[in-house]
Amino acid sequence: MECTAAIQEEAKTALAVADLVFSPQANHNFSRILTDLKRSNLSITNRLHSIQEDAYFVSEVTSAFNDRPLIANERCGSWYIAPQNKRGSAYFKSTDGHTGQWKFSTRRLNVHLLSIIGENDGCIIVDSTRRGKRMPDALSKTVPVWCCVLNRALFPNATERHRLYTPPNVVSESEHAQVEARIEGFVESLKRLDIDLEGLRGQVKRPLRPMWVTQDSQLVPTNEVFEDFHPVICCTCSRRVVGGEMSEGGYIQGAGDDTENWALGLTPPVFWEHEKELLSTPEADLRDVVLALVERHSIVSCVSATRQLTPSVFVGTLSAESPTTRTCTISILPRVTDPNTWVKTTSRMEVGLGKHKLASRNLRSALPQICDFVHNFFSSTQHNPPNAATEEGKVLILCETGKDFSIGVTLALLCQCFDDEGRNLKAGGGNDGVNKNVIKAKLGRIMTEYPEANPSRATLQSVNSFLMT
């Protein structure tokens, strides 16, 4: 009897423990606690303080390398550089350096950096990475490939400078060899763009060579002028956190990344202008402060200037004004409208495509009408200049950002409505010589003239489908 009672009592105890540890409610609470803990560690306050800490390191790197100009690798790099210290932006994608997917981007040529490098004997490219990595693929592989390709294209006879350099503690010998085997193909793809290589060559005195700096590096101040190359210093500004983003007392590695998930519309210029206010605001009040600052700055910056891409084609945001009184204006609106209502006058067209991917898809069916409208503009009696680059031959393409759909439309127009000299083609004539190489070459020229442009993949796919069909 006593033995049976003891067994029953033990069973009750075991059941109670099982209920405590494995009940669905307990599991739910545990999951919620982990979620709250992660949210607390990844708070806006922790992110902004982490950004400030990493920005101090960037300042130390600048001093150590004789105040060479700071270049932000967008989108992340701008968070770590105060606007008054930023000399420019670069667009080196980490995906172009992913293992097995190495690429030299003919869309993002970044050749606007050459003049800065040549004038200052190099530059410092700032970026960060997260999830415990030592440095981003953009700095360990994409930038080295860019340097190597340009060296071979601009200094074809200096074969001793054609070597690919990668950080040995990040890139294995096997991966290095595989990347180097593709370099000549990348050089040929650059040459097919038919850009002015001789003009680019005149902007630099020596070949380029990447160098790498992290928070684990020992910084030794130097005023050295490198005799054999221009240094392209790849600065990974975030400290490596082993074990993920929740470690080290709130410090977040790569805190400036994924801004769409945490920044509430806050941008680097707004952050740096209000740095002290934001960093001193309690977490409970920070969201409201950020939203108020974002709204205030969006009102102030509503007016936009235009950007000239060719002698006859301009782009800008929807608030931009025409560069001349006689301009063909194409506005790409962020709402869907009836195509029958798009043409407003003989020189003004408002094309309602919607937003994001929907707009990119709608762009393909809208491009024939847009191109016809531009053809008709140039063919009309009052707008028929002998050369499209004259005062009366301007085209202005506007969209919300001035960097996406306006660039896609510009690419289509340059391929379909203008020849290589910028002269407008006759209405309905089109351009029968358009192929993939022509499209890449024209896009390369646009991106060289306007490095900040950012046409989405979906936008470019719609343009390619229209031009190649």
pTM for this entry: 0.79
Q: Identify each DSSP E strand in 346-468 by its residue range.
A: 348-352, 394-399
Residue type, position 35, single letter? T
Q: Strand 307-308 relative to strand 208-213: parallel, antiparallel, unpaired?
A: unpaired
Q: Which two tokens stand for residue 133?
A: 């990595």
pLDDT tens digits, 116-170: 999 999 999 999 988 778 899 999 999 999 999 999 999 999 898 899 999 998 9
What pLDDT does residue 129 have? 87
* DSSP track, 169-236: TTS-HHHHHHHHTTHHHHHHHHHTT---HHHHHTT-SS-EEEEEE-TTS------PPPSS-EEEEEEE
State the number of CA atoms in the 13 A half-sphere of 159 facing the CB.
1
The domain 307-468 is placed in CATH, from the list 3.40.50.720, 3.40.50.2000, 3.90.190.10, 3.40.50.11540, at 3.90.190.10
pLDDT in tens, the chain (469 residues): 555 555 455 555 554 544 545 455 545 554 554 444 444 456 899 999 999 999 999 999 999 999 999 999 998 999 999 999 999 999 999 999 998 999 999 888 999 999 999 999 999 999 998 877 889 999 999 999 999 999 999 999 989 889 999 999 899 999 999 999 999 999 999 999 888 899 999 999 999 999 999 999 888 777 666 788 999 999 999 998 876 555 567 889 989 988 888 889 899 999 999 999 999 999 899 999 999 998 888 765 544 678 888 888 999 998 877 766 678 999 999 999 999 999 999 999 999 999 888 999 999 999 999 999 998 888 874 444 444 444 557 899 999 989 999 999 999 999 988 876 666 655 445 556 788 888 988 998 898 888 888 898 899 999 999 998 7
Q: Which two tokens stand for residue 152?
A: 């071979």
What 3-state class would DSSP assign to 9?
A: helix
CB atoms closer than 10 angstroms to residue 127: 30
Segment (H or E) for 301: none
Q: Strand 327-333 relative to strand 70-73: parallel, antiparallel, unpaired?
A: unpaired
Domain borders along the chain are: 44-258, 264-301, 307-468
What pLDDT does residue 108 have? 87
What 3-state class would DSSP assign to 2?
A: helix
